[in-house]
Amino acid sequence: MGKGCIVDIQAEKIRLIALLAGLNNAKILNEFISLKKTREEDWWGRISAEEKSETEEGLAQADRGEVVSHAQAMATYKKWL
């Protein structure tokens, strides 16, 4: 298994609960809370109106069949990659 892979998720959750229950450092607790909030936010709400517009246009183009293969895109843009 890969490095950092959790084998027994239930045991890890219990250890994490115990760690949080005994935590007296407000800074670390706030970091946990911030991480939780970040994970809960939908990425769509964090991008700009321009990024949303471009994403929607790209989806519309795909719906219309206006697409190129990955190989074509790589050939076109290889000088910048």
Instruction: Tell me how far apart the alpha carbons of residues 62 and 69 are, in angstroms, rounded to a whole number.
Output: 12
> What is the full per-residue pLDDT of the chain (81 aa) written as tens digits?
555 677 788 999 999 999 999 999 999 999 999 988 877 778 888 899 999 999 999 999 999 999 999 999 999 988 887
Residues 22, 27, 42, 81, CA torsion sign: negative
Position 58 scores a pLDDT of: 93
Burial 16-51 (b: 16+ CB within 10 A, else e): eeeeeeeeeeeeeeeeeeeeeeeeeeeeeeeeeeee
Instruction: Tell me how far apart the alpha carbons of residues 55 and 63 are, in angstroms, rounded to a whole number.
Output: 12
CA 78 to the chain's CA centroid = 26
Position 19 scores a pLDDT of: 92
